[in-house]
Structure 1
Amino acid sequence: MTSWIKSSCRKGAHAEATRAANCRRNGRSYIAFNGSAISCLTSFRYYSRFCCKKKLAGRSSALIMRASQRRSRSMWIFAVNEQAGSGRGKIIWKLVEAELQRRSLPYLAVITASAETACEEVHSLLARSRSGIQSQSQGQSLAGSNQSPSNVRAVTVIGGDGTVHSILPALQGSGVPLGLIPSGSGNDTARAFGIPKQPLAALERVLQGETVAVDLIILGGNNSGNVQPQKPVLTALAVGFDAAIASAVNRSSYKKLCNRLGVGSLAYVIALFHMLLIYRPRQMTVTIDGTQHVYNRGWMAAICNVPAYGGGLRICPEASPSDGVLDICIVHTCTPLQLLRLFPTLLTGKHVRLPFVTMLRGRRVSVSAESMEGAAPISAFGDGEPACDVPLEVEAASNRLFLVR
């Protein structure tokens, strides 16, 4: 590790770029510290130690030392999924990084090839940041403070809904705000919170925007009698038919093609018609704050924290991410043709008037369904990502996350 850091300083940007390329090729994450690639998180720990001991020399080390010194005041962390939107994340990060360097802003980027690898590294960086501030405070009390001690201004995701979802465990309850520069195929989270599509406009919102407290959906899956670890969900938890559509899209060969052509929503239309042919509704029981509701032919139950998901479909038009209550939409006792006719009304929210649509609200929700021979268990997707199978239990968690908008 020591020899690599010294050689990086001598060879400059070319060696750094080569190291970053090797990390990408091997499917590993790496850290970019104000433009300098410093390999994986383990390397970052050694790297910080050598910076403090001033063992680096030359022009490259001067840049690194300035970044390290700024880190003691405040900085921005960027979690970058280069594969988001079929490679759009990588393109957008280049634009954003150039603007950060133009403004001479201190930043650190966690570059990942997938959403799943980002959370652990961000969590470790935040923990190190808080421990550093705590040691500097020399035991001063932080009681009554709404925010955890940290010199991180925000953790900003450059990716899609899956990347945002993967970062939530590291940020919930931390006091560190979540920023977002959308680069995925769906971008439901950005749409729900009014984040601009244009990358530099979204960056400006991260740097200058308002920080607000928002609720989370806390999923504690009760699958086959085994209580699952709690998982935070930001936008919505889809159970049943729409989860089957999301699963079909994720397994399909046409998703990447649709993204490359700029028509990502077309993949969901294809999956919709496919699921109409093969999906089988079944008896579904939805319990809200202790009150049980039984539906003989339950197609789907959507548990929402925001009004719209699925590319702008207004599933729960009255939902709010700051009221401490979950909105639930249940579709039941209808034919496949009626279900198909339902979907255009989701764009405006007029489906709530239909007799086979039931809208409910509550803080605690559980969903179960009867088993059906030859059919797979009903699955649930949170923020567009696989979550668990039914039965499941969720709860609204008020003001659990800070978000820059």
Structure 2
Amino acid sequence: MYVFIVNPIAGNGKSKKIFSKIRKTELFKEINETVYYTKYDGHAEEIAANLINLNQRKVEAIIVISGDGTLHEVINGLSNDTNIPVAFIPGGSGNDFARGVQLGRNPIRIFHEIIKNREASPYWLGTYKIDEKRQHFVNSIGFGFDAAVAKRANESSMKKFLNKLHLGQLSYLSALISVLFRFQFFNVELEIDGKKRRYNRCFMVLVGNHPYLGGGLKILPEAKVQPDKFSILMIHSVSKLKVLGVFLTVLWGGHVNFSEVTVVEAEKLKIISNKQLDYQVDGETDKIAPLQSCTIVKKTYPIHILGTEREESEIKKIS
């Protein structure tokens, strides 16, 4: 049985339209399936958690049709030891995960790969712990400016309009400029693989499993899907005008050449700030209290992602 989890409002209804096309295909009619539509924030996590109570051998795969936020919920709803493969058909506004694993843009083709190819690719999640709360992140976790921008972008009235025009990046850039001159620097202590470093006038700290953020910005250009290590980017000791220059050069990867930008690879990161700090996880925002710590590591065992294997020959649409 294939389990579909569809967020009908993701991408201003894009996910719902994609699923409507998929269920009209001959291939869809050949499979045994169950469909769940999410109805509220956190619903996908509840659905995934309930699937664990089923006989896992009966579930061929969970196919998520949504944006990255719903995928984040599904991953966190599954138990750590589940062997159920997960597949993702992007239907949101950002779709950074799809870029990170090179899924492609044709949802019918991705669906064909999921059902017919059945070859899973490993993907190592990040795990973060704040106090006793431990969760996974699919794309990235960011502290400071990155989180403030994500919060502003999520609240923006322009987001829906720009998404309809397939200009999701502009929503992020618009929020960036809006937040830039109001944002306050913070001091932070980082423990990277056991070595402590202190950064004053810090602007942001970002940890990523792949290069992309904010709807396609290649902010960690050298990041790879790999076990053990993730990439960390820090912007520090910088003026706000220069920050604007840093982000403008993100479009072609030139930001990593600024002396105020530090990029490292690590297996473990612990972060402690001197003040309350906004953070984002896969685009969703929250706060940590002053002097509260967050510890980040790679998940030991990978999840298994279907649909990422690309063939050289074009697969015909099934309609």
| TM-score normalized with structure 1 length | 0.71
The structural deviation recorded for 1:401 is 1.2
1:81–1:114 CA contact under 8 A, matched in 2: no
1:116-158 CA deviation, whole Å, 9 max, x = no partner? 211212221232123xxxxxxxxxxxxxxxxxxx221211110
Per the alignment, residue 112 of structure 1 pairs with 38
Rounded to whole Å, the distance in 2 between the matches of 1:233 and 1:121 is 18
The structure where helix makes up a greater share of residues is 1
The answer to whether residue 156 in structure 2 is matched with residue 252 in structure 1 is yes
**Residue identity matched to 1:126:** I
Aligned counterpart in structure 2 of residue 396 of structure 1, from 298, 310, 313: 298
Q: How many aligned positions are there?
A: 302
Per the alignment, residue 182 of structure 1 pairs with 90
Rounded to whole Å, the distance in 1 between the matches of 2:39 and 2:103 is 23
**Residue identity matched to 1:107:** E
The answer to whether residue 137 in structure 2 is matched with residue 211 in structure 1 is no
Per the alignment, residue 168 of structure 2 pairs with 264
The structural deviation recorded for 1:269 is 1.7
Aligned counterpart in structure 2 of residue 157 of structure 1, from 49, 53, 64: 64
2:172–2:215 CA contact under 8 A, matched in 1: no
1:288–1:361 CA contact under 8 A, matched in 2: no
Rounded to whole Å, the distance in 2 between the matches of 1:403 and 1:173 is 15
The structural deviation recorded for 1:161 is 0.5
2:205–2:232 CA contact under 8 A, matched in 1: yes
* SS state at 1:399 partner: coil
The structural deviation recorded for 1:330 is 0.4
Per the alignment, residue 47 of structure 1 pairs with none
**Residue identity matched to 2:122:** A
1:110–1:122 CA contact under 8 A, matched in 2: no
1:318-337 correspondence runs (5 A): 318-337=222-241
Stretch of structure 1 that moved more, 182-191 or 234-243: 234-243
Give 1 or 2 for the bigger CA radius of gyration. 1
Distance 1:86 1:77, change over 3 A: same
Structure 2 gap ranges (5+) = 309-319
The answer to whether residue 107 in structure 2 is matched with residue 199 in structure 1 is yes
1:181-201 CA deviation, whole Å, 9 max, x = no partner? 100000001111111222201
Rounded to whole Å, the distance in 1 between the matches of 2:169 and 2:257 is 25
Per the alignment, residue 342 of structure 1 pairs with 246
1:285-327 CA deviation, whole Å, 9 max, x = no partner? 2111221111111000011111222222222222222231121
Stretch of structure 1 that moved more, 188-197 or 386-395: 386-395
Per the alignment, residue 382 of structure 1 pairs with 281
CA RMSD across the alignment? 1.8
Rounded to whole Å, the distance in 1 between the matches of 2:293 and 2:179 is 21
Query: Could you tell me the percent identity over the aligned residues?
Result: 29
**Residue identity matched to 2:133:** P
The structural deviation recorded for 1:209 is 4.9
1:11-50 correspondence runs (5 A): none
1:240–1:379 CA contact under 8 A, matched in 2: yes
Rounded to whole Å, the distance in 1 between the matches of 2:191 and 2:132 is 19
The structural deviation recorded for 1:100 is 5.6
Rounded to whole Å, the distance in 1 between the matches of 2:304 and 2:286 is 23
The structural deviation recorded for 1:99 is 1.7
Larger relative contact order (Cα-Cα within 8 Å, sequence gap ≥ 6): 2
The structural deviation recorded for 1:231 is 0.7
Distance 1:270 1:347, change over 3 A: closer
1:293-332 correspondence runs (5 A): 293-332=197-236
1:236–1:382 CA contact under 8 A, matched in 2: yes
Per the alignment, residue 9 of structure 2 pairs with 83
Stretch of structure 1 that moved more, 333-342 or 304-313: 304-313
**Residue identity matched to 1:400:** P
1:214–1:398 CA contact under 8 A, matched in 2: no
Distance 1:244 1:163, change over 3 A: same
Distance 1:354 1:102, change over 3 A: closer
Distance 1:229 1:97, change over 3 A: same
* SS state at 1:98 partner: coil
Per the alignment, residue 241 of structure 1 pairs with 145
Distance 1:218 1:100, change over 3 A: farther
The answer to whether residue 76 in structure 2 is matched with residue 169 in structure 1 is yes
**Residue identity matched to 1:336:** K
Rounded to whole Å, the distance in 2 between the matches of 1:316 and 1:259 is 23
Distance 1:384 1:396, change over 3 A: same
